[in-house]
Amino acid sequence: MQIKVFGPGCPRCKKTEENAVEALKELNLEAELVKVSDLQEIMSHGIMMTPGLAIDEKVMCTGKIPSVEEIKEWISEKAR
Amino acid sequence: MDWKKEWKALLAIVAVFLASFYLPLERARFDNAIMESLHLVKWYAQEHVLLCLVPAFFIAGAIAVFVSQASVIRYLGAKANKVLAFGVASVSGSILAVCSCTVLPLFAGIYQMGAGLGPATAFLYSGPAINVLAIILTARILGIGLGIARAVGAILFSVVIGLLMHFIFIREDLQQADTQAAMPVPEVTRPLWQNALYFATMVAILVFANWGKPGTNVGTWYAVYSAKWIVTSVVSAFFAIILVLWFDLKGSKVLLVAIPTAILAFLFPHEPMVAFAAGAIGLSIITSTDKGEAGEWFLSTWGFAKQILPLLFIGVLAAGVLLGRPEHEGLIPSTWVSRAVGGNSLHSNLFASVVGAFMYFATLTEVPILQGLIGSGMGKGPALALLLAGPALSLPNMLVIRSVMGTKKTVAFVSLVVVMATFSGMLYGALIE
Whether residue B179 is predicted with pLDDT greater than 70 in this model: the reply is: no
Nearest chain B Cα distance for residue A33, angstroms: 20
Condensed to tens digits (0 to 9), the pLDDT of residues A41-75 reads: 887 787 777 788 888 888 888 777 788 888 888 88
Condensed to tens digits (0 to 9), the pLDDT of residues B63-120 reads: 877 877 677 777 777 677 778 888 888 887 777 665 566 777 778 878 877 778 888 8
Condensed to tens digits (0 to 9), the pLDDT of residues B319-346 reads: 888 888 877 888 888 888 888 888 888 8
**Cα gap A52→B335, rounded to integer Å:** 50
CA A6 distance to own-chain centroid: 7
**Cα gap B379→B139, rounded to integer Å:** 17
For the entire predicted model, the pTM comes to 0.79
Identify the pLDDT of residue B174.
Answer: 62
Alpha helices (H) along B97-191: 103-113, 117-129, 132-142, 144-168
Identify the pLDDT of residue B88.
Answer: 84
Residue B64: CB partners within 8 Å, gap ≥ 6? B98, B99, B300, B304
Angle at B337 between CA B379 and CA B34, to 5 degrees: 120
- Interface residue B396 vs chain A (CB under 8 A): no
Residues of B in contact with A39 (CB under 8 A): 104-105, 108, 400, 403-404
Whether residue B178 is predicted with pLDDT greater than 60 in this model: the reply is: no
- Interface residue B288 vs chain A (CB under 8 A): no
Condensed to tens digits (0 to 9), the pLDDT of residues B142-161 reads: 888 888 998 888 888 889 99
Q: Buried (b) or exposed (e) across B55-83, using 16+ Cβ within 10 A?
A: bbbbbbbbbbbbbbbeebbebbbeebeee
Identify the pLDDT of residue B188.
Answer: 57
Whether residue B412 is predicted with pLDDT greater than 90 in this model: the reply is: yes
Test the A interface: residue of B92, B95, B99 with most A CBs within 10 Å: B99
A61 is catalytic: no
So what's the ipTM on this one? Answer: 0.72
Contact B424, B153 (CB under 8 A): yes
- Amino acid residing at A26: E
Residues of B in contact with A62 (CB under 8 A): 182-185
DSSP B327: T
Contact A51, A7 (CB under 8 A): yes
DSSP B75: T
**What is the overall mean pLDDT for chain B?**
84
| Rounded average pLDDT over B219-228 | 82
